[in-house]
Amino acid sequence: MTRTMAGPPPGAPAGPKGRRPVPYRPRLSARLAYLMQRVLRPNAVNRRFGALVERSAAARKLFTAAERVSKEQLFGCRMCGQCALPVTGYSCPMGCPKELRNGPCGGVGPGGACEVYPEKRCVWVVGFERASSQGAADDLRRLQRPVDHRRWGESSWLNYWAGRDDGLWTGDDGLASPPVLGAHE
Amino acid sequence: MSLRERLAAGEFTVTAELSPPRGASAAAMLSRAELLRGWVDAVNITDNQGSHVRLSSWAGAAAVKQSGIIEPIMQMTCRDRNRIALQSDLLGAGALGIENLLFMSGDHPKFGDHPGAKPVFDLDSTQLVWTARTLRDEGRLISGKQVDPAPRFFLGAVENPFAPPVEYRARRAAKKIAAGAQFMQTQYVFDVPAFARWMAELGELGVLDRCAILAGVGVIRSARMLDFLASGKVPGVQVPEPVQRRLRGVAPEDVGAEGAKIAAEVIAAVRQIPGVAGVHLLTAGYEKQTPELLRLAGVDRSALIGQAPSGD
């Protein structure tokens, strides 16, 4: 019988555990992660730097590789190319075996264990704790839009600085007026 | 009265579950549906529950609807279909006149009869509710393309108020309500005070007037079932100590009766909680028990008995 399991999409890297989503305990403390957020914000300097990197294919490749290596170690990054970390307590939702971007499933064990990998903690339990510790729990009320699977393997930082990440999540909890689903706002 | 009308009217509502058969006929499911006629307002048709292959939920829902026995609620999980297939099936449900939909992430394939299956999870449950609402209200697909005509849907979601992070569960439910959920069924309620706290949080978030909450109620029918549910092996199910003590305190042959008593007490208790619109009976496979359970809980169904569902 032939194997019908899909291979990784072109250009997608093997994460620390291969392409399979497995909960990863962030190696960077919540406090440092939120400090890093200030540095990485798409300000004038970052935008200009990003544009410069994107001008050369080689620079882009090098930058993407550096991002991959560092985020793999720190957050178990799988390079989805559309980073949700800034609003998930810097606990990566793509490590959830169901890749849930809007919060934990109903199967989390009493002690916070992942349903699929009981020896790991649910990425959303970890994310909620980390976000709460930094006063950012309300970020978890934003609605996350569907992932664009064409972006796998791309540098999320370059996408972020170039504004290609705009609209990944809603600006608030979406309760005041119906949130718009597509990025075609 | 349809499920939508009944909830809008503020009538205490009862839903239940039917799992489609593993076979190419809906007949067995329809005879089980007969046992619920008049006793429940609508019934969930599960979508390959526990990641075990069954007759599809849309076909099951269509068969139940066509039978006129009861109003179906078609379950849809994110486990097996990408956004193309999900939206296509939403249009299909609309064409078949299936209005009640219930969305959930779905159990991981690891727990089912095809553990080697590819877990899809292209959308998550919140995004799927959002997709269905957008399809209905804006007549648009995720891509932005128009559909014609747009379907009529009554949209449901689920939540487990007892799973960690408990402090986040009401906010997560509110996200689904923002996305478009109009009714919500919960996981088994055994811990009534914890459920009441979750309801109070929903009240504080101001979402109870836009979403009807149906508390999940199940019957522990035997010592074996208690062991199984208390083992922690059933995703998301917790049986609190006092309930376990009570069930272990009776003779093994009386566990079923005591379990039914506990369930009836839970129904009576959640009825008193502001904002609870009804109960969702997680008693699939034991439909025969439903009338007795509702009688025990003091839920009056006399007006409904013998009536075919309206709105068909």
Q: pLDDT tens-digit profile of A57-103? A: 999 999 999 999 999 999 999 999 999 999 999 999 999 999 999 99
Give chain B as a DSSP string: --HHHHHHTT--EEEEEEPPPSSS--HHHHHHHHHHTTT-SEEEE-SSGGG---S-HHHHHHHHHHHTSSEEEEEEESSS--HHHHHHHHHHHHHTT--EEEEE----GGGSS-TTSPP--SS-HHHHHHHHHHHHHT-B-TTS-B-SSPPP-EEEEEE-TTSSSHHHHHHHHHHHHHHT-SEEEEEE---HHHHHHHHHHHHHHT-TTTSEEEEEE----SHHHHHHHHTT-STT----HHHHHHHHTS-GGGHHHHHHHHHHHHHHHHHTSTTEEEEEE--TT-GGGHHHHHHHTT---TTTTTPPPS--
User: B165 lies in which domain range?
Assistant: 3-218+274-285
Q: Please tell me whether the peptide bond between B20 and the residue prior to it is cis, using omega within 30 degrees of 0.
A: no
Q: What average pLDDT does range B78-104 have in this prediction? A: 98
pLDDT at B237 (0 to 100): 85
The total of structural domains in chain B comes to 1
Say if B246 falls within a structural domain. no
Instruction: Tell whether B258 is covered by a domain.
Output: no
Q: Which of B167, B175, B201 to probe the A interface (max A CBs under 10 A)?
A: B175
pLDDT at A1: 38
Q: What is the CATH number of the domain that holds B65?
A: 3.20.20.220
Min distance B237 CA to chain A CA atoms (Å) = 8
**Could you tell me the pLDDT band of residue A13, with boundaries at 50, 70 and 90?**
very low
Weakest-pLDDT range from B3-7, B29-33, B171-175, B291-295: B291-295
For residue A175, give the chain B residue with the closest CA: B178
Q: Does residue A88 sit at the B interface (CB-CB below 8 Å)?
A: no
Q: Which two tokens stand for residue A166?
A: 């705009």
Any A CB within 8 A of B67 CB: no
pLDDT at position A183: 60
| pLDDT-derived band at B304, boundaries 50, 70, 90 | low
Residue B146 belongs to a domain: yes
Residue B172 contacts A, CB cutoff 8 Å: yes
B194 to chain A, any CB pair closer than 8 A? The answer is no
Q: Is residue B168 part of a domain?
A: yes
- Please check whether residue A103 touches B, CB under 8 A: yes
Tell me, what's the pLDDT at B302? Answer: 66
Strand partners, A17: A19
- Residues of A with Cβ-Cβ distance to B167 under 8 angstroms: 128, 132
**Residue B268, domain member (yes or no):** no
pTM of the model: 0.93
**Could A140 and B168 be called an inter-chain contact, meaning their C-beta atoms sit closer than 8 Å?**
yes
Average pLDDT over residues B28-51: 96
What pLDDT sits at residue B303?
55
Residues A13-32 have a mean pLDDT of 80
Chain A partners within 8 Å of B240 (Cβ): none
Say which of B140, B165, B187 has its CB closest to residue A106. B187
Tell me the shortest Cα–Cα distance from A102 to chain B, in angstroms: 7
- Cβ of B122 within 8 Å of Cβ of A110? The answer is no
Contact B164 A101 (CB under 8 A): no
Nearest residue of B to residue A142, measured between CA atoms? B175
ipTM of the complex in this document: 0.93
Per the domain annotation, does B226 fall within a domain? no
Is residue B142 in some structural domain? yes
**Nearest CB to A182; choose among B126, B142, B235:** B142
Q: Does position B307 have pLDDT exceeding 80, yes or no?
A: no
A140 Cβ under 8 Å from any chain B Cβ: yes
Would residue B93 count as lying in a domain?
yes
